[in-house]
Amino acid sequence: IAQYSLLKEHEVEKMFTLKPGRLPPADVKNIIFFVRPKLELMDIITDNVLREDRGRSPQRDFHILFVPRRSLLCEQWLKEQGVLGSFIHREQYSLDLIPFDGDLLSMESESAFKECYLESDQTSLYHAAKGLMTLQALYGTIPQIFGKGDCARHVANMMIRMKREFPGSQNSIFPVFDTLLLLDRNVDLLTPLATQLTYEGLIDEIYGIQNTYVKLPPEKFAPKKQGEGGKDLPTEPKKLQLNSAEELYAEIRDKNFNAVGSVLSKKAKIISAAFEERHHAKTVGEIKQFVSQLPHMQAARSSLANHTSIAELIKDITTSEDFFDNLTVEQEFMSGIDTDKVNNYIEDCIAQKHPLIKILRLVCLQSVCNSGLKQKVLDHYKREILQTYGYEHILTLNNLEKAGLLKPQTGGRNNYPTIRKTLRLWMDDVNEQNPNDISYVYSGYAPLSVRLAQLLARPGWRSIEEVLKMLPGPHFEERQQLPTGLQKKRQHGENRVTLVFFLGGVTYAEIAALRFLSQMEDGGTEYIIATTKLINGTTWIKSLMEKLEPAPF
């Protein structure tokens, strides 16, 4: 996140990524471990410290910085390994929310969902509340808080409590946010399971975006220079940073993938037209102007080349038969077709040993769209999965059941159709090129979470009380008093700003949908998004799976 050069200015000699084994040699006295409080990482550090050359001089000093909090568990672990005493400083760096983009903050704690729903460990909620307090200290107290779900309730309670406990924290900053909306991931388990169909969403689904970087197969990015004849293709994956600072990416990231192609070709025409202009430049002044634009044009061209390559890569996959079949089944489930019997495609996939996560995504999706599966159907899937992928996955299936993703239908009532109809989750006529509704991000399915945000802004949740009661957890509204001087006198036509906090993770498609709502002319609301972690169905399910590899020690 911080650039290397910046650290260099602060006299940091070298920066290493954490890995087991001996520390790389460096002529430094102080070594700082900058880590998340996780036990696996502690083991690596232990290894590092123990292998440190004892005879060397000057001796190195070790320091450890935990992000975002010191963890007692980790320190005890270090102590048990006999290295705790080696650290001169043990500190915490309270980094709660990390800005990812102009409108996106993330805590990057991938285990948050698992901790909250599987282990009932609410520490990440505590951090979320802390992060929100920091945000309020910087951007003013948020006058209205809405929320849905147990975790949301907890976070709101904690915020109110923290405020009460530090009465001095009343600040005099004019509030930037009008509303805070806290949403539990388990209110909307459906959305992350479906395949995202926005450009950014697909990049994430297929290649995985990590901390705004994506690694891509290098073949398509070989430098096309004459004379080289493609001799030395780069073998390292191509690493690209993706954020809205890149003009082209900002434009296409949230579009449905089917609309990306036309934008790219349009851009290509504009750029080549711009390059053509040099022939028309007659006067010195014109040439000068052209030259001054060159760097910008060069950048635009390379950005266009990159995204054309990425789009080609994705296109290869989205046009494949399997992708299409998978999507068809997903869409059938989401529109409520045949959710109560064993699905042929899922059976086929199991028989062909498709990746287990893909199977689990589909089965969970079916379960969620049917408010739980019939016992017989559930047992059938379970048996097939265990027989094909190994009995030890019984632990993972158990986790999914605990998280509510996979469950037997109880009470024999399927609420999903009601929810779908009331919240208009399924739209049959989707306009992918020029969308008029958020459902374009999944080519038909409108993310439930975002629908809730949309309905909250207009006409308000009172209109959907019945459905809210069907979704898990309480819904609530809190107000934080502002000093009269700070109350906003709203200009006519000025947009309200809502901060939406997804507890347990958010997908790129949901972000795209919220950005779409912000841009709607008559929307009247702008959205800023915060979350515990950026997720997609795969990373999400993975975080819930039992680690089956025995620990390396």
Catalog residues that contact other proteins under the rule CB under 8 A. 39, 49-50, 52, 54, 58-62, 69-73, 76-77, 79-80, 82-92, 115, 119-123, 125-126, 129, 154, 158, 161, 165, 347-348, 351, 353, 379, 382-384, 386-392, 394-395, 398, 546, 548, 550-551
Which is nearer to other proteins, 154 or 267 (by Cβ)?
A: 154
Task: Kindly state the helix (H) or strand (E) to which residue 400 belongs, with its residue range.
Answer: helix 394-402
Reading the block at residue 126, the tokens are: 């505590």
Question: What's the closest the beta carbon of residue 488 comes to other proteins, in angstroms?
Answer: 31
Q: Distance (Å, rounded) from C-alpha 509 to C-alpha 518?
A: 14
Which is nearer to other proteins, 89 or 269 (by Cβ)?
A: 89
Q: Distance (Å, rounded) from C-alpha 406 to C-alpha 429?
A: 30
Question: What's the closest the beta carbon of residue 163 comes to other proteins, in angstroms?
Answer: 14
Which is nearer to other proteins, 46 or 195 (by Cβ)?
A: 46
Question: What's the closest the beta carbon of residue 308 comes to other proteins, in angstroms?
Answer: 30
Q: Distance (Å, rounded) from C-alpha 31 to C-alpha 484?
A: 50
Which is nearer to other proteins, 94 or 335 (by Cβ)?
A: 94
Task: For residue 389, count other CB atoms closer than 10 A to its CB.
Answer: 16
Question: What's the closest the beta carbon of residue 545 comes to other proteins, in angstroms?
Answer: 13
DSSP notation for 401-470 = HHTTSS-B--TT---HHHHHHHTT-B-SS--SSS-SSGGGGBTTBPPHHHHHHHHHHTT-GGGGHHHHHH
Instruction: Report CA-CA distances (Å) from 58 to 21, 139, 389.
Output: 20, 46, 53
Instruction: Report CA-CA distances (Å) from 330 to 205, 238, 431.
Output: 15, 31, 19
Question: What's the closest the beta carbon of residue 37 comes to other proteins, in angstroms?
Answer: 8
Which is nearer to other proteins, 118 or 222 (by Cβ)?
A: 118
Which is nearer to other proteins, 161 or 413 (by Cβ)?
A: 161
Task: Kindly state the helix (H) or strand (E) to which residue 497 belongs, with its residue range.
Answer: strand 496-503
Which is nearer to other proteins, 69 or 253 (by Cβ)?
A: 69
- Burial profile 502-515: b = 16 or more Cβ within 10 angstroms, e = fewer: bbbbbbbbbbbbbb
Question: What's the closest the beta carbon of residue 348 comes to other proteins, in angstroms?
Answer: 8
Task: Scan for tokens 């000699």, then name that residue.
Answer: 13
Q: Which of 463, 467, 369 is nearest to 418 (CA)?
A: 467
Instruction: Report CA-CA distances (Å) from 482 to 133, 487, 491.
Output: 15, 6, 19
Reading the block at residue 205, the tokens are: 């689904």
Task: For residue 179, count other CB atoms closer than 10 A to its CB.
Answer: 20
CA 127 to chain centre: 17
Question: What's the closest the beta carbon of residue 188 comes to other proteins, in angstroms?
Answer: 23
In the chain, DSSP finds a helix count (H) and a strand count (E) of 21, 13
Which is nearer to other proteins, 247 or 546 (by Cβ)?
A: 546
Question: What's the closest the beta carbon of residue 138 comes to other proteins, in angstroms?
Answer: 19
Question: What's the closest the beta carbon of residue 60 comes to other proteins, in angstroms?
Answer: 5
Which is nearer to other proteins, 90 or 496 (by Cβ)?
A: 90
Question: What's the closest the beta carbon of residue 543 comes to other proteins, in angstroms?
Answer: 15
Which is nearer to other proteins, 153 or 253 (by Cβ)?
A: 153
